Every structure is written in C-alpha cells, then in structure tokens.
Amino acid sequence: MSSMHAKTDSEVTSLAASSPTRSPRRPVYYVQSPSRDSHDGEKTTNSFHSTPILSPMGSPGRHSRDSSSTRFSGSLKPGSARSGRRHHHHHHRKTDDKQWKEFDAIEEEGLLEDDGAHTGLSRRYYLLAFLVGFFLLFTLFSLILWGASRNQRPIITMKGITFHQFGIQAGADASGVATEMISMNSTVKLIFRNTGTFFGVHVTSTSLDLSYSQLTVATGTINKFYQSRKSQRTITVTLNGNNIPLYGGGADLSSKDGVPTAPVPLTLNFMVRARAYVLGKLVKPKFYRRVQCSVVLDPKKMNVANALKNLCTYM
C-alpha cells in the first residue's frame, strides 16, 4: 500500500514538474433559478434551470464548495422572498389567465349552444309553417276541385219504353188467397252521359219500378259500371213482373192474348247514383239523379217503342 501511494505521489510530482504552470482549474457550481416554461402552473415551483457558473480565480476547492453551497442557500434564503413573490405573482397571473380562458371557453360554448338551439327552433318553425301552408293550399285546391266537379253533374236522358207482354189471370198468392194476378214484360232504354272534364264516375242505381196505382207490377236493375270523362253510353234495362197479386186493385184491368183490352196508366220510378274520385278518396263528390216517368200502355202500341222525351221528370 505504501509503495503504491509513493508511486502515485512521484507520478503526480513528475507530472506537475513537466507540465507548464497553469492556473488551477476553477470549480464549477450551479445556480438554480425558477423555470419560466410554465404551461402547467403546478410544476412552476418545482422546476429549475441549472446554469454552470465558474468560481472566482484562485479560490480553493473547499472554499468553492462552501461558496457554491452558500450561493445556493443564499439564493434560496434571502433571494427566495423576492423570487417567491415573483413566482407567486407569475403563478397568480397564470391562474387568472387559465380562469379567463376557461370562462371564455364556457362563454363561447354557451353561445354556440344558444345558436344551435336558436337554429333548431327556427327549423321547427319553418317546418311547422311549411306544413300549415301546405295543408291550407291543399285544402283550397281540394275545395276548388270539389266545387268545379259539383257543377259537372251527370245527365240522364230517357229514350223510350217498349211493352212486350201484358196479361191478367186469376190465381192465388203464396198464402193461398185467391186474387187477380198480373204478368208483364217491357224494356226501357236510356242514355247516361258523364259531363266531367277531368274525372270519371262509378255508377249504380236503384231498381227500376213500373207500378200501377202504387202497386209495383214490374222491376229491373242497372248493373253498376264506370263511365270515363266526357263520354256517354246507352243502357237497356228489362223490367219483368210474373204473377204479381193485385188484391182487388186491378178490378178494371183485363187482357186478351197477352194484350190489355184498355189503356193502362203506369209510372216508372228509379234513382241513379254516381260517385267520382277526383283526388283519390279525399275529393269524391257524389251525384244523385231521380227519374220519374208517366207512361200509358196502349194496346195498339205493343212491341213498339214509346218515346219518353217529354214524359219524364228529373230531380
């Protein structure tokens, strides 16, 4: 151990003798100051920058260490009040800036929310106004169509009636009561015309009743049909009556070989119903037309068309 220590001392002496005289190396000490890089306010008091500072000329190492520690402690003790005040002011300013930024963000978010709510409310108002306007316009349009279609009523024209058979014979009803029975066969011709310029009609009818003194002696029906706009058709209906009991009402009636012996007054009565689908099922006007004709069965005009032009009433 002593030899190694001696060798070391000699080596140190030789190195010192051979090397030129230079000033002793200055020890390095560090002065720590508060960091100004404070994006995060909480780390400001704990972060410091270390700056190397050279010691004065000729100061020994121990003195340098003492000076370093003294400077370091001095920087923390006497200067710490000023640094603390500066740091407190800086931290307080950062906190205020942060609070103002948060307030601005909250205010901006509130403004955005208010703007979004106002926009949504405006859209609702616009949608409601559009729906109300559309409903009013559609209602007005429907009323116009309905009013226009009501003025285009179908027209029925009775052309004539032909009697083919008329007979009176004795008989009994279903309960066995003896009475005069009447049987007859005739044909009625009429024209149905749809005057609608923009709609067709579906047509039905009640039974066509041919009666004698309020007693129906023959009936017929019109099969339902569809009539397109601005068009017409000729309809032929057969009226039949077979063994209709008169119950004393036809005491003056008589016939021979299926022909009445005297003229027989008769009344033809029926009603035609027409329905138009102008706008689907929303606008569907209905038309009713009742027809009543007073005719006379002339024995001399059997199997001949009897004109009904001026013998009918349309209601």
Whether residue 105 is predicted with pLDDT greater than 70 in this model: the reply is no
Whether residue 247 is predicted with pLDDT greater than 60 in this model: the reply is yes
At 62-76, the pLDDT tens digits run 444 444 444 444 444
Whether residue 310 is predicted with pLDDT greater than 70 in this model: the reply is yes
CA 29 – CA 52 distance, rounded (Å): 6
Retrieve residue 164's tokens.
């083919």
Distance of CA 154 to the CA centre of its chain: 37
Q: What are the C-alpha distances in Å from 296 to residues 81, 150, 265?
A: 135, 35, 4
Look at residue 98 in the predicted model and tell me its pLDDT.
Answer: 57
Query: Mean pLDDT throughout 42-68?
Result: 44
CA 258 – CA 90 distance, rounded (Å): 130
> Residue 226 belongs to what H/E stretch?
strand 225-227
Retrieve residue 14's tokens.
């030789």
Q: In the 8-state DSSP scheme, what is residue 56? A: P
What's the whole-number average pLDDT of the chain?
75
Q: In the 8-state DSSP scheme, what is residue 300? A: G
What is the Cα gyration radius of the chain?
Answer: 61
Query: Mean pLDDT throughout 264-285?
Result: 91
Look at residue 114 in the predicted model and tell me its pLDDT.
Answer: 57
Supply the pTM of this predicted model: 0.58
| % of the chain surpassing 70 pLDDT | 62
Look at residue 146 in the predicted model and tell me its pLDDT.
Answer: 82
At 145-177, the pLDDT tens digits run 888 888 899 999 999 999 999 999 988 888 888
Contact predicate 272/192, CB 8 Å: yes
Q: Are strands 178-194 and 231-245 parallel, antiparallel or unpaired?
A: antiparallel
Look at residue 299 in the predicted model and tell me its pLDDT.
Answer: 94
Whether residue 8 is predicted with pLDDT greater than 50 in this model: the reply is no
CA 128 – CA 126 distance, rounded (Å): 5
Query: Please, is 189 exposed, middle or buried when counting C-beta atoms within 10 Å of its C-beta (0-12, 13-18, 19+)?
Result: middle
Judged by DSSP in three states, 11 sits in helix
Compute φ and ψ for 223, nearest 5 degrees: -70, 140
Whether residue 248 is predicted with pLDDT greater than 70 in this model: the reply is yes
Rounded to 10°, the helix 78-150/61-76 angle is: 50
Higher pLDDT, 281 or 259: 259
Indicate the pLDDT class of residue 281, thresholds 50, 70 and 90: confident
Look at residue 174 in the predicted model and tell me its pLDDT.
Answer: 82
Look at residue 139 in the predicted model and tell me its pLDDT.
Answer: 87
What sign does the dihedral 81-86-91-95 (CA atoms) show? positive
Look at residue 13 in the predicted model and tell me its pLDDT.
Answer: 42
Indicate the pLDDT class of residue 194, thresholds 50, 70 and 90: very high
Indicate the pLDDT class of residue 9, thresholds 50, 70 and 90: very low
Retrieve residue 222's tokens.
């019109």
Indicate the pLDDT class of residue 230, thresholds 50, 70 and 90: very high
Higher pLDDT, 134 or 227: 227
